[in-house]
Structure 1
Amino acid sequence: MNKFYFLIVFAFVRLVASAQTLNIPDANFKAKLVQASTVNVIALDLSALAIKIDTNDDGEIQQSEVLGVRTLFLDSSNISSFEGIQYFSNLSDLRCSNNLMTELNLCGTAVAVLFCIDNPNLTSIILKNNVISETIWIEPPFPPFWVWNLPSLQYVCTDVAKMAEAQMYFTTATTNTITFSSDCNISDCSSLLNSPNNVPGFTVSVYPNPANTKLNITLPQSINLKSISIYNTLGQLVQVDTNPTETIDVSGLKTGSYFIKIISDEGTASSKFIKQ
C-alpha cells in the first residue's frame, strides 16, 4: 500500500514538473537558453549583465524561469525555429540576427525593440503583441527596428498603432514587395492578442473610458508603476510620465483614440482609451 501511494505521489510530482516545462523544439534555441553565458539583460545605459535562465540546472526551461527575462541575445546561433519564445511574456528586446528561421512570431511577448539582420530564410514576421514600439533612447534617437538584408521577407503583421513605423523600417530590409497587415489570423495566439496585457497575473484597466480630463488606472496593490506612455493611432508618443501615479491628466490631448503603455516592476501592459 505504501509503495503504491509513493508511486502515485511520484507520478503526480513528475506531471506537475512536466506541465511547467516549456516546449522549445529547436535544439539550438534551447541550448542557447540553457547556457547562462549566452543570455543577457541590457539596461538603458547599455550595461550588459549575464543572467542564468536555467536556475535549477535541469537542462530544461520552466515558465517561472523566463518571467524575469527582458533581453535575449540569440545572434548567430543556427536557430531554425523560435517556437517557444511566446512564453517570454516580459521580453522587450530581442537580438536574433544571422539565423535560419523562416518565420518569427513574437505574439505573447512584450518585444518593442528588434534587431533582426542577415536572416536569409525569413519570410514572415509577426510583431503584433499589443506593445507599442518606441524610441527607447532619447539622445541620439535610435529606431525600434534594426532590420536589413532580409532577402526572403514577404509578410509583416503588426499592431495598427505601430504600422507606420514598421513600414518605414521594414521596406528597406529587402527588394521584395512586403505585405503589411494588422490581421495576423493566428488561432493559437488569439487570446493573447485580445488581451490588453501579456504578463500572466498582471491585469490593468483604465477608466473612465471615454475620458475627458482625468484617466484612472487600476492595478494590483503589489505592482509599482515605473512609467506611463501615451501614443496616438499613428504610434507617435504624445505624452510620457516617468514619475506616474494612478491618475493621469489627459486634458491636453486632442479628441480621439489612444494607446497607453504601462511599465511596472512586474512587466509591461498596454490598453486603449478614447479622449473626449
Structure 2
Amino acid sequence: MAAEDAFTEHRPLLFTVAYEMLGSAADAEDVLQESYLRWREVDPAGVGHARAYLVRVVTRQALNHLRAAKSRREEYVGSWLPEPIRTAPEVGDDVVLAESVSMAMMLVLETLNPTERAVFVLHDVFGYTHGEIAAAVGKAEVTVRQIAHRARGHVHARRRRFEPDSAATGKIVERFMRSAADGDMQALMDLLAPDVVVISDGGGKVTAARRPVVGRDDVARFVLGVYRTSATTARIEPARYNGMPAARFLTGGALDWLVAFEIRDGRITGLYGMRNPDKLDRADVVRPLDRGALG
C-alpha cells in the first residue's frame, strides 16, 4: 500500500514527464504502467527520495519508447501532431508548463533525438540538475551538460513565443469561429498573422490536409472551405487543450475533430487540427499536469 500511495501521489508529475517526452497520452500511460510494476518491486523505505527515483524510472522507460517509436513516426501518413490532451484552466497559470505542452513546443521537441529531448525536458521544464539527469539517462554529468547546451540552442532557435490560454485569447477564438461560420473572408484575415500555419493530422485514416497550409490568404480560404464542407452540421464547443484555447467539433454527439489555436499579439499564428480517430478517442479526459518542484 505504501508503494501504491507514493506512486499515486506523484502520478500527475510522472504523466507530465512521460507525455512531454513522448507526445502521446497513450504511450505515457503505458510508460506509467511499466514504471509502476518496477516500483512495486522496490522497498519504498529503502528509497531516499521517492519522487526523484520514480522520475528516473519513468525517464528510462520513456526513452525506450521513444527509440522504438522512431520508425512509426517515419512511416506516419501526412502531418504528425502530438496527441492532444485536455487541460484544466489552472495549467495556464504556469506559463512554463503551458508552453512546454503546447503543440508548437511539442513539435519542436520532436526534432530532438531521444536523449536530447529527455535532458531538455528534465532540466528546462522540471528543474532537475545535470547530475540528477545524468543518473536518469545513464550519461556522465559533463556529457549531460553538453547535451543540454546543444538541445537548448536547438529549441530556442525554433520556438515560437507562447501566449497561454486566457479570456483575451478565448475572445479571439470566438470571433474567428463566428467569422468562419458567416463566411466572412476579410474578418478571418484580420484575425490571422501573415505567417499563420495550419497543420492537420488525420493519420491516413480520415480526410485531412497532408501538408501544412501557410500564409494568411491560403489559410483563410482553407478554413472557409472546411466550414462549407463539414463544419456546418457540427456542434462546436470551446475547450482547452495543451494549455491552448481550442474548439471541439461534435457530429452526432461524437468528437469528430478539434482545433487548438496558437495566438500571439492578438493574432492567430497557428491552428492545429486533430482528426485522427485514434488520438481523439482519449481527448475527452482532462489530464492533471504537474511541474512540481523537484529536488
Q: TM-score, normalised by structure 1?
A: 0.30
TM-score normalised by structure 2 residue count: 0.28
Considering Cα pairs closer than 8 Å and 6+ residues apart, tell me whether 1 or 2 has the greater RCO: 2
